[in-house]
Chains A and B, each alone.
Chain A
């Protein structure tokens, strides 16, 4: 049957098999992990929440498609799922009443400027969704910090919702005015409500518990490694813990810091973005600690009440440096 002479054999170097992980699979795992938080945001912010998520995703996909096809003349990259993730993450970072055109401009900055001008997926030094958010925050500070308060299972459309400040800014402003922590806490939803997400804030970041569930799913699926989220969260907990132990009347507890604001979203979904974060385990630990320190510093002493986005973007900038300084643990190079 086979003389060997007329066989046409395929020849290529080893390895001859490949694992079944692909970029779309990884990206879709991230999308699944975002589902719990997306559901909570719709439960609490109703159709307005849904509107922001849909618009933001749609705009990001649209911008990616248009730029890839008509400005760069390349084939569509929508199928890899990364634009959809950026869209959802950007939506997560917005208040539920943001006008559509602002969302659109955020999408243009996130996808058009932060991602595609650098060459697309894999080449962007900064997390696109965060660049989009910070752009909006700086350009439209009023709209970006007016938070409709959640109304559980209220699906009325476009009705003017009651707005309020986020827990974190209530505390920050209050402490500045000299109020005691106890009296401030009395004004706020209970810690349980804060953890569940029944509080004012960006639609996707309010529910720490839903984000934690998604984050654990990503860890379990080995889409992300533990190094960044754990070092990030621990750093915030330790620093705010020490400050709190020194004077609990003038500072918020580490639990409050962990479960409010954008920390969970940042630690599990933003700071773990493959492209803009360090590669080696050691580098990731350093990066996570850096994110934690900057977050606390901005939260406690910065002009903005929340520091997660700025902290992560600043650390994005240090990624090349960290990659150069912290190499993977080597085999056979231990000091004798």
Chain B
């Protein structure tokens, strides 16, 4: 066992918020189906998907109900069998109304050709192209939160190659344990998935980065990998945002992705463990992405849990499964406490990118009163991108967009470390987001003219 000091980490900044992994020992449970699912038509970054069903249609589990709208897009499937009740705009986890397909749940009948057994399949003799087709058909997107279509990341641009596949098992967000449980319970599937990706990317090396607070998962995967070569497990220091893509690359292979560039620039491709297990299911089992693992947790929740949940399940259904919303709850967050979004309604559905539902007590939900900046530089010390958040806040506040751009505001990964750290309780990231929006607009206009 490596000592805490020798663990690798990223080069700059970082914080250590209380881990609060309350559900770390709760095995993954299958959540019973709800009465209705509301499935947002587009659950990926990139081009919107196009609806291909209409009201009244009968659908099966795994049936495509919205087709990818281009290369950087993904199919959306029905996660239940039943009848399309309506296709309307509904409030999703972002707080905005988005096109949504509501399906009345009548059963759990799957489309043809899906292997629903638990048996581990390690080889079907598929060609690379056949495997890629299965991934595209299955609508796989990054399950770590960004929801970027996975097949795009598996298609390196001309002239670039992937030397190392980096697997993100960091789960640096406090509270969340979905990836942790997945690694513990579905490690064998994960490893087959990694091999699929190595083959597709033609890469001979894979590194699984896991924060050192998940020793059981590290040990488990090391055991499973004993007789394998080319795949290594790298325990990482428990430091937020270790799971940020650029930070993880820096921590595992020591390289620094240049500002504005993609990981492939340094020969790396990063995928989250959940995504890789979904790819295993797509390729070896013919199974589309209709469910995911999600943590439901909070200090006042009596039995924090990890569920296997169908996409489109309302958050309220999840909360009922852990005993309902506790008295005095203030905020319900889709995701972790550092980067998650506060929900405006519990009717919002679980989507492909949802990793956790965190219920915060009213007393935890209120921000402390902000006072003047004392220039303690602690925000600078915490920033993993080497920015000066106190200064970005000032330029954001004053709409000095050129100055914000000069101070590299667009490099900000919105990790929230600066706001978390500030002893003056300044909402630094709020202002930085404002500056980023402004600078983004300015850059688009500049490229037009």
In the complex, B267 has a CB within 8 A of chain A: no
In the complex, B384 has a CB within 8 A of chain A: yes
Within 8 A of A (CB), among B334-353: 335, 337-347
Within 8 A of A (CB), among B372-404: 372-378, 380-381, 383-388, 390
**Which residues of B have CB within 8 Å of A333?**
258-259, 386, 408
Q: Number of contact residues on B: which range applies?
A: 35 or more
In the complex, A177 has a CB within 8 A of chain B: no
Q: Closest residue to B423 on the A side, CB-wise?
A: A21
Nearest CB of A to B9, in Å? 13
In the bound assembly, the distance between CA atoms of A192 and B387 in angstroms comes to 45
**Which residues of A have CB within 8 Å of B375?**
122, 274-275, 277, 279
Q: Which of A10, A17, A22, A327 contacts B423 (CB 8 A)?
A: A22
Nearest CB of A to B325, in Å? 4
**Which residues of A have CB within 8 Å of B314?**
4
Nearest CB of A to B119, in Å? 39
Given A4-B316, A14-B429, are A332 and B258 neighbors across the interface (CB < 8 Å)? yes
**Which residues of B have CB within 8 Å of A327?**
388, 407
Write the A53-89 contact mask toward B (1 if CB under 8 angstroms, else 0): 0000000000000000000000000001000000000
In the complex, B196 has a CB within 8 A of chain A: no
Q: Closest residue to B330 on the A side, CB-wise?
A: A10
Nearest CB of A to B265, in Å? 10
Q: A2 touching B319 by the CB < 8 A rule?
A: yes
In the bound assembly, the distance between CA atoms of A11 and B341 in angstroms comes to 8
Q: Which of B12, B330, B346 contacts A331 (CB 8 A)?
A: B12
In the complex, A162 has a CB within 8 A of chain B: no
**Which residues of A have CB within 8 Å of B385?**
330-332
**Which residues of A have CB within 8 Å of B374?**
23, 26, 121-122, 274-275
Given A16-B331, A332-B411, are A23 and B259 neighbors across the interface (CB < 8 Å)? no
Which of B156-164, B185-193, B268-276, B359-367 is the interface stretch? B359-367
Determine the main DSSP class of B at the interface with A: loop
Given A275-B375, A280-B380, A328-B380, are A11 and B388 neighbors across the interface (CB < 8 Å)? no
Nearest CB of B to A35, in Å? 21
Q: B360 touching A16 by the CB < 8 A rule?
A: yes
Q: B337 touching A16 by the CB < 8 A rule?
A: yes
Please give the number of chain A residues whose Cβ is less than 8 angstroms from any Cβ of chain B in the complex.
43
**Which residues of A have CB within 8 Å of B425?**
18, 22
Nearest CB of A to B103, in Å? 18
Q: A17 touching B337 by the CB < 8 A rule?
A: yes
A-B pairs with beta carbons under 8 A, tally: 178
In the bound assembly, the distance between CA atoms of A68 and B246 in angstroms comes to 47
Q: Which of B256, B257, B362 contacts A10 (CB 8 A)?
A: B362
**Which residues of B have CB within 8 Å of A331?**
11-12, 246, 250, 256, 259, 384-386, 411
Q: B340 touching A16 by the CB < 8 A rule?
A: yes
Which of B121-129, B302-310, B414-422 is the interface stretch? B414-422
In the complex, A123 has a CB within 8 A of chain B: yes
Q: A10 touching B365 by the CB < 8 A rule?
A: yes
Q: B330 touching A225 by the CB < 8 A rule?
A: no
Q: B345 touching A4 by the CB < 8 A rule?
A: yes
In the complex, B118 has a CB within 8 A of chain A: no
In the complex, B424 has a CB within 8 A of chain A: yes
Q: Which of A7, A14, A329 contacts B416 (CB 8 A)?
A: A14
In the bound assembly, the distance between CA atoms of A23 and B425 in angstroms comes to 9
In the complex, A13 has a CB within 8 A of chain B: yes
Given A2-B320, A18-B419, are A26 and B337 neighbors across the interface (CB < 8 Å)? no
- Chain B contact residues, CB within 8 Å of chain A: 11-12, 15, 17-18, 95, 174, 246, 250, 256-259, 261, 314-316, 319-320, 324-325, 330-333, 335, 337-347, 358, 360, 362, 364-368, 371-378, 380-381, 383-388, 390, 407-408, 411, 414, 416, 419-425, 427, 429-430, 433
Given contacts A7-B345, A275-B375, 18 further A-B contacts (CB under 8 A): A2-B316, A2-B324, A9-B342, A10-B342, A10-B366, A11-B95, A12-B342, A14-B337, A16-B342, A18-B422, A19-B421, A19-B423, A21-B421, A22-B425, A25-B423, A120-B372, A122-B375, A331-B259
Query: What are 13 A-B contacts defined by CB distance under 8 Å?
Result: A9-B330, A9-B342, A10-B342, A10-B366, A13-B427, A15-B416, A17-B17, A21-B423, A22-B423, A26-B376, A280-B380, A331-B256, A332-B261
